[in-house]
Amino acid sequence: MGSDAAALASYDRAILNRFDACRRWLLDRADSPWYPSPRLFRQARLADWSASLEQMTRDLRFARDAN
């Protein structure tokens, strides 16, 4: 679902499991050459989503405040 929305440039952010990577999202990047619009957030440690969620929350707040 996320890749379909990303292909339509309608999904702005995605949280990815770093330990179950898909080739479309590559590794150690916050973007994808195939899907230019979404910003990617990955978990730093297996089963720990807290840092990714905090980072995405900060990014969303920054985007909201910039508009």
Q: Running along the chain, 67 residues long, what does each successive block of 10 average in pLDDT?
A: 54 77 78 82 90 92 85
Helix (H) or strand (E) holding 14, with range, is strand 13-16
pLDDT of residue 54: 95
pLDDT of residue 8: 56
Domain that holds residue 17: 2-66
Please tell me the distance from the alpha carbon of residue 54 to that of residue 15, in angstroms, as a whole number. 11
Radius of gyration, CA atoms only, the chain: 12
pLDDT of residue 48: 92
pTM: 0.70
Helix (H) or strand (E) holding 64, with range, is helix 50-66
Phi, psi of 62 (to 5 degrees): -60, -45
- Overall domain count for the chain: 1
